[in-house]
Amino acid sequence: MKIRSNDAKGIICILMAAMGFALMTFFVRLSGDVPTMEKAFFRNAFAAVIAGVTLLRSEEGFKIKKGNARYIFFRCIFGTTGLLCNFYAIDHMPLADANMLNKLSPFFAILASIPILKEKPTKIDIMTTVIAFMGVILIARPSEGVSMIPAIAGIWGGAGAGIAYSFVRLLGRRQERTSVIVLCFSIFSCLLSLPFMIADFAPLKFWQLGCLIAAGIFAAIAQFSITSAYKFAPARKIGVFDNTQVVFSAVLGIIFLSEVPAHLSIVGYVIIIGMAVFRWYWNLTHEHEEDAAQQG
């Protein structure tokens, strides 16, 4: 009935990441009308500095293990496009809604793990994925016109992140260090957003700079935590715990931004979080059955 050591570590890390990402998106939203690319640059710059300092102090230094470079590149591509779409959604949707759409990432990670990691999902994995997606439809509330663009961006934000986490899991199997993965992703994202930031640069007020610094710090905490989480355990076992971010985001939105979620959004939250709780209980009671099915 007990969760194995690596699974427990993965759950703790992913809960830390959920809190970190919730605070990151809150401060990104609080920074106001700063261009999206400028927000993205600050979000990744701090993580790059922290990862760089960590590697400089390590014995191995900055060295990618043989054969891992291409997988790190794919992690960077999918992670960066997902990040930029998530930031766009944050700027154009209620905070809790944007974060919930981003929380599709665990379910996309399960789907991506089939071709990338050869991890076969169980019937429970498929069922929770489908039901959770129904909750996303309630949040996005599909409609014609421009209003759907932020929702589509938010969905790709989750998809890009989920695929990226599958490559993180693969890199963990190949013994790549967390700091190397975080540094490569952060530098790649900074370089991609830098030209757009320069072209559309907006001078920052002191309070906006403070918000972006806070966002960068919490993003760094979350980035290290999420990378460690998916190295410890597979998405099918721990991904659902990432959905706790929506609880933190909803509370922050209600208290500080006066954002009261729509009734359909609340139903969507209940559905997706319900799937997370169900998956947690299933992990506890059917762990050995799932492991046997994976080996078979």
* Cα maximum dimension of the chain: 59
Compute the radius of gyration of the chain from its Cα atoms.
18
Quick: pLDDT tens for 154-163: 889 989 988 9
Q: Which residue has the higher pLDDT, 45 or 250?
A: 45
Q: How confident is the model at residue 288 (pLDDT cuts 50, 70, 90)?
A: low
Domain that holds residue 198: 5-295
Rounded Cα–Cα distance for residues 156 and 145 (Å): 18
H/E run at residue 50: helix 36-56
- What is the three-class DSSP state of 285? helix
Residue with token string 């760089």 = 52
Range name among 178-182, 204-208, 227-231 with the lowest pLDDT average: 227-231
Confidence of residue 140 (pLDDT cuts 50, 70, 90): low
247 vs 23: CA distance, rounded Å? 11
Q: Is the pLDDT of residue 268 over 70?
A: yes
User: Does the pLDDT value for residue 146 go beyond 50?
Assistant: no
Distance CA 247, CA 243 (A): 8
Write the DSSP symbol of residue 260. P
Q: Which of 272, 276, 275, 278 is nearest to 140 (CA)?
A: 272
Whole-number Å distance between alpha carbons of 256 and 92: 17
The answer to whether residues 111 and 162 touch, using CB atoms and an 8 Å cutoff, is yes
**Residue spans of beta strands (DSSP E) within 33-95:** none
As for how many domains the chain has, the answer is 1
Once rounded to an integer, what is the mean pLDDT over residues 163-192? Answer: 90
Contacts of 127 (CB under 8 A, 6+ apart): none
CB neighbours of residue 236 within 10 Å: 25
Query: At residue 215, what is the residue type?
Result: A
Containing H/E element for 241?
A: none
Segment 254-278 shows an average pLDDT of 81
* Residue 120: predicted pLDDT: 79
Residue 1 has pLDDT above 50, yes or no: no
pLDDT at 218: 92
Residue 200 pLDDT greater than 50, yes or no: yes
DSSP secondary structure of 138-203: HHH---SSTTHHHHHHHHHHHHHHHHHHHHHHHHHHTT--HHHHHHHHHHHHHHHHHHHHHHT--P
Average confidence (pLDDT) over 138-148: 63
Is the model's pLDDT at 117 over the cut of 60? yes
Residue 32 has pLDDT above 90, yes or no: no
Question: What confidence score (pLDDT) does residue 96 get?
Answer: 66
Distance, in Å, from the CA atom of 140 to the CA atom of 168, rounded to the nearest integer, reads: 28
The residue among 133 and 95 whose pLDDT is bigger is 133
pLDDT above 80: residue 78? yes
